[in-house]
Amino acid sequence: MPHLRALDGLRGLSILAVLAYHSGLLSGGFVGVDLFFALSGFLITRLLITEHDRHGDIRLLGFWARRALRLGPALVAAVLLAIAVSRAIGMPLEPAWILATLLYASNLLIGYAHVYPIGLLSHTWSLGMEEQFYLLWPPLVVLAMRWGARGVCGAAALLSIVPALLRSAWVAAHPGNPYADPELWTRVYFAPDMRFDAIALGCLAGAASLLFPAPGRTADRVATGAALLGLGWLGHVCVSADIGTLVSQPLLFSLTSLAATATVVAAARETALARALGWAPLVGLGKISYGLYLYHVIVFVGLGDEPVGVRWAVAIALASASWWLWERPFLRLKPRFERGVRGVAAAAAVDREG
């Protein structure tokens, strides 16, 4: 799959939104997470279908091993850093919070037990969502591939619709100020049964892009137009909304996920947007976005009242060091679990996923 620089650039744009959100600069910068979700669904689905088409099956253990090598080392480092910083500032972490994070279950703790915040690990909820996707979606793809990419499209479409319906029903059953009712906003925002559509729409787009390649300039223009509308919506949410806005109006979650997915689709094509996202600084941030996401909250809180620029610089420096000195050595082990899709550009894109 071409245009890997654009996908890295999109990750860079996504992490910038998240950094701005946690710096108090953008009330709706959390939409960066929706971009990460859509991108994961899109790339992973393409990778799985491609492997099945080439080899007739999908080696799930190999897939899970590669994901563990990509995600595990930085998570362990972030948890250790969070423990140290929490003790230093007098905000010790509960053992249950640490265990839930290491088991990629912090979103379950928050979404279903309504335990929030969980100290310097609250932001790891999205990693839990991603890991649950990695565990559950590939076996479902194996089953759906009995009907080819159309079967995968059908499964993804179903998983895009059900969470939206559950969200609407839950909000209707809990009227009032979302922040006054933890059972409302923590369930709607963090629980996988009400957020999985953010990933599933990316899965649907990934499968559809293989089923209906739609080459040509006209398709590129349509994709670009849809992405510009999507980016316009995401920008609007960034500057004028907060989590409560989306929770109280659940349709806005669906619009945000659709906007993120449209942006991903255009970034993966030969479009002007893809070329813009290939800007070197964005690409550089995208390559370290996973570590930067993990470390930035810990750094921001640990540095206290330091200027925003200082906190950003330290977080970026730490994520860069983590990437080069800690994460990459583990990635060198990934070829042991490859089976010939290594040369596929889509696999390379997933390898750099943040």
Secondary structure of 17-71 in HEC code, one letter for each residue: HHHHHHCCCCCCCCHHHHHHHHHHHHHHHHHHHHHHHHHCCCCHHHHHHHHHHHH
| CA dist list (Å): 143 to 65, 139, 203, 239 | 20, 6, 15, 42
Counting beta carbons within 10 angstroms of the beta carbon of residue 76, is it exposed (0 to 12), middle (13 to 18) or buried (19 or more)?
Answer: middle
Residue ranges of the chain with per-residue pLDDT less than 50: 2-3, 341-349, 351, 353-354
What's the domain range around 330? 4-351
Per-residue confidence (pLDDT) for residue 340, from 0 to 100: 58
Tokens 């994520």, residue located:
319
CA 113, CA 127: separation in Å to the nearest integer?
18
Q: Which residue has the tokens 């925002």?
A: 189
How does DSSP classify residue 323?
I
What span, in angstroms and rounded, lies between the C-alpha atoms of 64 and 312? Answer: 32
Closest Cα to residue 133, out of 41, 39, 261?
A: 41
Q: What pLDDT does 182 receive?
A: 86
pLDDT at 215: 85
Instruction: Write the CA distances from 198 to 117, 127, 244, 260, 300, integer angstroms.
Output: 22, 14, 17, 8, 27
User: How far is Cα 44 from Cα 50, in angstroms, rounded to an integer?
Assistant: 10
Residues near 90 by Cβ (< 8 Å), separated by ≥ 6? none
Q: Give Cα 7 distance to the centre of its chain.
A: 13
pLDDT given at position 341: 44
List the Cα angle 240/242/245 in 5-degree steps: 95
SS3 content of the chain, % helix, strand, coil (to 5): 80, 0, 20
Number of domains the chain contains: 1
pLDDT of 1 reads: 54
End-to-end, the C-alpha distance of the chain in Å comes to 18
Residue 348 has a pLDDT of 47
Taken as a whole, the chain contains a residue count of 354
Which burial class, exposed, middle or buried, applies to 88 when counting CB atoms under 10 A from its CB (0-12, 13-18, 19+)? exposed
Q: Are 2 and 347 in contact (CB under 8 A)?
A: no
Token code pair at residue 269: 């094509």
- CA-based Rg of the chain, rounded to a whole angstrom? 19
Task: With CA atoms as reference, report the closest residue to 204 among 126, 131, 257.
Answer: 257
